[in-house]
Amino acid sequence: MNDIEFMGLALEEAKIAYQNGEVPVGAVLVKNNQVIASSHNQKDSKNCAIFHAEIGCIMEASEKLENWRLIDCILYVTMMPCPMCASAIAQSRIAKVVYGTVANTNDVELVEKIFSTRSYGNTVELIGGILEEETSNLVKDFFREKRS
């Protein structure tokens, strides 16, 4: 599978969040070209600010691999991670993040700094704009519907 196909799976996860009335963000974690974890934003349903799609993937994959070091893994996420998720990704030793769209431009500089600072000995590669239109439209539709 390629980047677009993996992002398509993350987008399906984001749609589940949408249906649940949550800000539509989805993610899948890939190792050796296989999906090892998938999740979507569950902040409202779990009533806890930490349950972003990326955190769900990290928890699921760490449990599955019985290891907090998620080496050689690539995270596909429909939205650029927030600083919480960016730092969780770096601390989990995830190698690379591929995202769809940027929602919060305030956080871009912070996230790039977290990924490039070797606080934990590693850096995280960051690539954006995969299925940009689809991932962006989903968020726009969500907030348009919320407002009306």
Q: What angle do CA 107, 108, 113 make, to 5 degrees?
A: 100
Our CB check for a second copy shows the closer of 13 and 107 to be 107
The binder of a second copy chosen from 4, 48, 71, 127 (CB under 8 A): 48
133 among known catalytic residues: no
Residue 27 interacting with a second copy (CB under 8 A): no
Contact between 66 and a second copy (CB under 8 A)?
yes
Number of alpha helices (DSSP H) and beta strands (DSSP E) in the chain: 5, 5
Return residues touching a second copy (CB under 8 A).
Answer: 43-44, 46-50, 55, 58-59, 62-63, 66-69, 82-88, 91-93, 104, 106-107, 110, 113-114, 117, 119
